[in-house]
Amino acid sequence: MNTPPPMRTPLLAVVVLICGCRAANDPWTQLPSLPQPMSNNAVALVAADSGPILLSMTGLKAGKTWRDVSKQGFILDLSLNPRQWRSLDVPGPPRLAASAVAIGTTVYLVGGYTVAEDHTEVSTPEIWSLDTTTGDWSERTTMPVPVDDSVVMVYADRYLILVSGWSNSTNVDNTQVYDTETDQWWQSTPFPGWPVFGHAGALSDDWMVICDGVKIEPLVEGRRFVPAVQCHEGLIADDRATTIEWQQIDHHGGPGLYRMAAGASDQRVIFAGGSPNPYNYNGVGYDGRLSLASRRVFARSRLSSQWQLLDPLPAGSMDHRGLLISEGSMYVIGGMHDPQQVSAGVISGKVPAAN
């Protein structure tokens, strides 16, 4: 994430046992790889009548320097044979930590941050929509508070909800709502936990779960970034998401994790991968050590209010912007594997049964 003036040493999170039972899961399978390795990429899934369409946009290429910040996009229609990624033009500047979501056949690309040669990083307020049936992009009204590394979710097939994130020089607690039909923004109930960036979460109907990320710890001189060991549930209290009833819930039991992949399915929010050591965009921790990727996959059930430990990823994976879920399958696109290798891999697994 954004380069701090001094190096920061993260606090070590205590690992405790996770509650709930382990679920059986079919093995993860490999899908066609991205045309090139890509990490910190915005990903989205369009649930077309013929089958899922996967998208990857912006992110970081294999070189992991400011020159490798990308605006490239790729699209894969899983109904076609042979399955093959094709290039997708993406508007706006090359950027990292953007988010993408789909409503029907329209994909929204939200936020992110640019990196200059002198390492200056600027949060972008832009939001773009892509009509996947025509390939046309439209620029929408910019967000009131520019954020990157935020959690972006869809409510009622109309509203985008942005929770917390980094805004140019600090974390913010804003919960911003965008109406895709009227092109208007407003502020909802602020996030009640530590303001964070690189957190993860998802929304199922009117219920969301947000976990972890990185908080700022002030020092006598300067500050440092440390893992935020926290999870919150949010319940949307009205049709326009102007009010969210937040409450803190028990933690998932592992270390606080940075840049997990997260998605929702059948009243559960599923989390995968991430790293316990916060890092800059090149995968090197703020403490100067290489960050290691996690294989953990776990879920929070709305019905049981419990955590469920799921079968792990085939390899540690971090630096994600979303876990795509549709028709009983979940997808992980790109990311970073140990030791800080940007991946072109795309994997799919079946959504496990709830406990």
pLDDT of 352? 87
Q: In 3D, which of 108, 268, 264, 283 has the Cα closest to residue 198?
A: 283
Q: CA-CA distance, 333 to 251, in Å (whole number)?
A: 26
Say whether the peptide bond before residue 339 is cis (omega within 30 degrees of 0): yes
pLDDT of 354? 79
Q: CA-CA distance, 99 to 109, in Å (whole number)?
A: 6
Q: Where are the domains of the chain?
A: 38-350
pLDDT of 219? 80
Mean pLDDT of the chain: 92
Residues of the chain under the 50 pLDDT cut? 1-26
Task: Report whether 278 contacts 258 (CB < 8 A).
Answer: yes
State which fold the 38-350 domain adopts.
Neuraminidase (2.120.10)
User: In sequence order, what are the residues at sequence separation of 6 or more whose Cβ sits closer than 8 angstroms to the Cβ of residue 82?
Assistant: none
What's the pLDDT tens digit per position in 126-136? 999 999 999 99
Residue 102 CB neighbours (<10 A)? 21
Q: CA-CA distance, 244 to 182, in Å (whole number)?
A: 21
What amino acid occupies position 326?
A: S
Residue 291: helix, strand or coil by DSSP? coil
pTM of the model: 0.91
pLDDT of 27? 75
Residue 299: helix, strand or coil by DSSP? strand
Residue 235 CB neighbours (<10 A)? 14
Q: In degrees rounded to 5, what are phi and psi of residue 213?
A: 95, -160
Instruction: Report the b/e string of 157-179 with b at 16+ CB within 10 A.
Output: eebbbbbbbbbeeebbebbbbbe
C-alpha dihedral sign at 325, 354, 336, 346: negative
pLDDT of 221? 67
